[in-house]
Structures are given as structure tokens and as C-alpha cells.
Amino acid sequence: MVACPALFISAPASGQGKTTLTAGLARLHRRAGRRVRVFKTGPDFLDPMILAQASGAPVLSLDLWMVGEDGCRKLLAQAAQEADLILIEGVMGLYDGTPSSADLAVAFGVPVAAAISAKSMAQTFGALAFGLARFRPEVPFHGVLANRVGSARHAQMLQEALPADLRWLGHVASDALLELPGRHLGLHQASEIADLDARIEHAADALLDTALAELPPPVEFATVPEAPPLPRLLDGKQIAIARDAAFSFIYPANVALLEALGARIAYFSPLGNEAPAHADAIWLPGGYPELHAAALARSAQSAAALRAHVEAGKPLVAECGGMLWLLDALTDTAGTRTPMLGLLPGEAVMQKRFAALGMQQISGTHGTLTGHTFHYSRVSTPLAPALVARHANTGAPGEPLYRHGPVVATYMHAYWPSNPAFTAALFHGTAL
């Protein structure tokens, strides 16, 4: 066992300010000279970017289904051995989802601090806090913090509404600087928020006088026997990864797996009209191609390099937004149609509401690969799926996976450490 102070930041729902508060807390403890490791519950690319800037370290995913309980245990034990504090930001509300944030907190004994937005609320705050704390008695409940509080008197009313045995962690006042901008897939990317560092510092200052500024109690995490090294299934293979404002939905664990399998990683920016140099394989991750369609259409050098790569029969793996760039065209919600690369037959049309959301897994020759899907577009293509993912909880058909020459494309964002052999097959262009 290895012990490390740890705290789980949750809430009754999305939109309560969890990310801002977790980022502020990470920065506050980092300013005190502590080594802080932050994790994000569930599949997410945007919140971890902000939390990484706040903590100064990569933010990995914890999810009992996608990552697996053993995988989560290993990540937490590793963090506990090198950090002075572990913070875990929950997903949605504390009890939402199967598995939920509460399930994760119970599995590893991490105390839960609930952040409740108290805007337009008084004594009902106490009822919400009571429900969160008592709904499942086995959840280790640390206390409750009131966010978006209007005044000192408002804070007093909220505190007085709490049952005597529920810990009041303090309050944070309503403040426009503590609200992070968002769009259709969630928060803006960290690189797009010009004053993000100032906002994080402001959030840290706002937490100075709360009980969250104190180190939480230590949690004992079970150490995991060191696993044998992974076979170097991608030894010597040069993999180029698109990475810029249009393509940024990248799990750090996915890149770490490619490197552990022996791959050499290089990055290129399609928005910068860069060409991947000497790539044996290319990965186009998800992101926001719909916001940059015109710029992508002008990236002639990048386009020529990708076409030459495919014509040479080299593997190209595309997820979600990366797949949209490969299509013949992309039409936005205003009806503007922009030609794309034309390396995958079909077109995509952006929707005003999300088209798919949820955890999925895909099975093939090498077993099962877990992941998730979340997108606002719909694709029409004459291609027949090579494989079809399944929803995690229902087993219903999910996202198709298309194979077109050396191109493999799907809406599903895969968590590659769940199946290294499947991942290696993607980048070798072999049977899936």
C-alpha cells in the first residue's frame, strides 16, 4: 500500500463549476510547493487540458469501465508514489452513469467534496447536500462547498441549512472570472482561452479561505505488481499525429502506449499546413474540424502529403473529427459545404444537437477495445462497415468502423491501453 492525500471533486450535476474549482485547487496546492496529480473521471479531452495547465502534469482518465478497475488502480498507485496530493474531478453528477463517480470513489476510498452551485437557492442547498451525502452511505463524504454565492448573508443561510453532521467546506462567490467559456462539445480548449492562467490563479485565490485549502486525509492505494514490459509491436515505426486547434482530442495514455510499443512519435499541424515527415503511419484524432473547415481546405501541403501517404498504402487511423477531414465534404449548421480531402467516400453534416453519446466497445480478431463516442455530425457513406461497435450497457449496435484501403476510420474514440494488440494492428494496417 502507498498513502497519499486525495480528494474527489463532484457535484449534483454538470455545470456546477467542478473544473474551475478543481483547477483552482490544483494551482493553490501547487503554489504551496506540493506535487499535484489530477485525474478526470470518464471520457473527456477538454477538461484535462485545463487541469493539466493548472497542475503542471498530464491529466489521465479514470473510468471503471473504459480504463478498468485494475487500470485505475495502477494509475492511482503510480500517482501516489510521486505526488503530495491527488485530485479527481468527477463527471456529471455524483451518481450519474454506470459506473458513476460515486462508484469510483467507493472503489478506491477517496473522500468526496461536493460543489453545489447555490445561485438562486437558499435552504434547498441543505437538502441537496443531504441527498448527496446520504443517498449511498458507503460513499466516503468529505463535505460540501457552495459555489456562485451572492453575499456573506447568502453563505450564512446556506451553511445554516446543512445538517449538523455535514461538513461545511466554505463558499466561493459568484464571479465572471470563475466561469470558463464553452461550446457544443464542452469547454473551450485550454489553448483558446487567452487569460486561462489568470482565471486559474483567480480560482486558487477564491479557495484560499475555504477548508479545501487544507490537505485532505491520506488515502491508502494498493500497489500493483509491476507488469512485464509490453511486446514492442510497433518497434521502430514512425507515427505522425495531427495536433492543433482542429485535432486535439488525444488521451495522453494513448500516446504513452504507442511509445511503450516501440513507436517513435512526431506531431504535425494541418492548420499550419505542415506535412508529416517520414511517417510510417498517421493518426488523425478528433477535434473541431468543423470550426476550421475553410483553413483545412486551404492546407494544400498537408493534403498532398496525406494523399501521397494513402496512395503509398501506408496506414492512416482517423477518429471522429479526423474522419470528417478525410471525407469528400463537410457541411456546417449554416449550410456551408466545404470540400475535404476526399480520401474516404462520403460527406458529413453538422447537427444542432448531439448525434451520439456514450461508452462503446469494438471487438475483432485481437479482442475488445473500449472507448466512447460524442459527436454533433452525421456521416453518409457508401462504405459498408468492417466492424461495428456496441454500446457498453445495452449491447446495442454503435459506431461503424470503416476500412478503405489503408484508411481505418470511426467516430469512436478508443482508449488504446485497453487492448495494445488491437492498437498495434491499427497502425500496421493488418487484420482487425
217 and 275 co-located in one domain: no
246 and 100 co-located in one domain: no
> What is the overall mean pLDDT for the chain?
95
In a domain, 342, yes or no: yes
- 117 pLDDT more than 60: yes
303 and 345 co-located in one domain: yes
296 and 354 co-located in one domain: yes
Residue 182 has a pLDDT of 74
Residue 342 has a pLDDT of 97
In a domain, 79, yes or no: yes
How many domains does the structure of the chain reveal?
A: 2
Residue 120 has a pLDDT of 93
Residue of 60, 54, 49, 61 lying closest to 21 (CA atoms): 54
Helix extents (H) in 179-279: 196-206, 252-260
320 has catalytic annotation = yes
In a domain, 226, yes or no: no
pLDDT (mean) for 401-427: 98
In a domain, 229, yes or no: no
pLDDT digits (tens, 9 = 90+) for 194-225: 788 899 999 999 999 999 999 999 999 998 88
CA distances from 117 to 111, 121, 178, 288, 354 (A): 20, 8, 12, 29, 25
In a domain, 291, yes or no: yes
213 and 248 co-located in one domain: no
Confidence band (pLDDT; 50, 70, 90) for 338? Answer: very high
- 254 pLDDT more than 90: yes
Higher pLDDT, 125 or 188: 125
Range in 135-149, 180-194, 230-244 with the lowest mean pLDDT: 180-194
Residue 41 has a pLDDT of 97
In a domain, 232, yes or no: no
Q: What is the largest CA-CA distance in the chain?
A: 70
Q: Are 112 and 8 in contact (CB under 8 A)?
A: yes
Range in 132-146, 232-246, 343-357, 406-420 with the lowest mean pLDDT: 343-357
208 and 277 co-located in one domain: no
The CA distance from 348 to 378, in Å, is 5
139 and 276 co-located in one domain: no
pLDDT (mean) for 169-186: 78
Residue 179 has a pLDDT of 77
pLDDT digits (tens, 9 = 90+) for 272-330: 999 998 999 999 999 999 999 999 999 999 999 999 999 999 999 999 999 999 999 99
276 and 167 co-located in one domain: no
CA distances from 197 to 24, 32, 105, 185, 290 (A): 10, 17, 29, 22, 27
Residue 186 has a pLDDT of 67
Q: Which residues contact 217 (CB under 8 A, 6 or more apart)?
A: 5, 111
245 and 116 co-located in one domain: no
C-alpha cell at 377: 455530425
DSSP 114-167: EEEE-TT-STHHHHHHHHHHHSSTTS-EEEEEEEEE--HHHHHHHHHTS-TTSP
Residue 175 has a pLDDT of 81
Q: Are 132 and 141 in contact (CB under 8 A)?
A: yes
Higher pLDDT, 176 or 387: 387
Residue 414 has a pLDDT of 98
* Catalytic residue of the set 320, 349, 369, 392: 320
pLDDT (mean) for 229-247: 96
CATH number at residue 78: 3.40.50.300
pLDDT digits (tens, 9 = 90+) for 373-399: 999 999 999 999 999 999 998 999 999
- 188 pLDDT more than 80: no
In a domain, 171, yes or no: yes
What's the chain's length in residues?
432
User: Which of 167, 192, 221 is where one domain is finished?
Assistant: 221
Confidence band (pLDDT; 50, 70, 90) for 184? Answer: low
In a domain, 17, yes or no: yes
- 352 pLDDT more than 70: yes
78 and 120 co-located in one domain: yes
pLDDT (mean) for 178-207: 80
Residue 393 has a pLDDT of 87
Q: Which structural domain, as residue segments, surrounds residue 146?
A: 2-221
157 and 284 co-located in one domain: no
Confidence band (pLDDT; 50, 70, 90) for 62? Answer: very high
- 183 pLDDT more than 70: no
CATH number at residue 340: 3.40.50.880
Residue 347 has a pLDDT of 98
Residue 145 has a pLDDT of 98
The CA distance from 334 to 358, in Å, is 26
Q: Is the pTM of this model over 0.75?
A: yes
70 and 160 co-located in one domain: yes
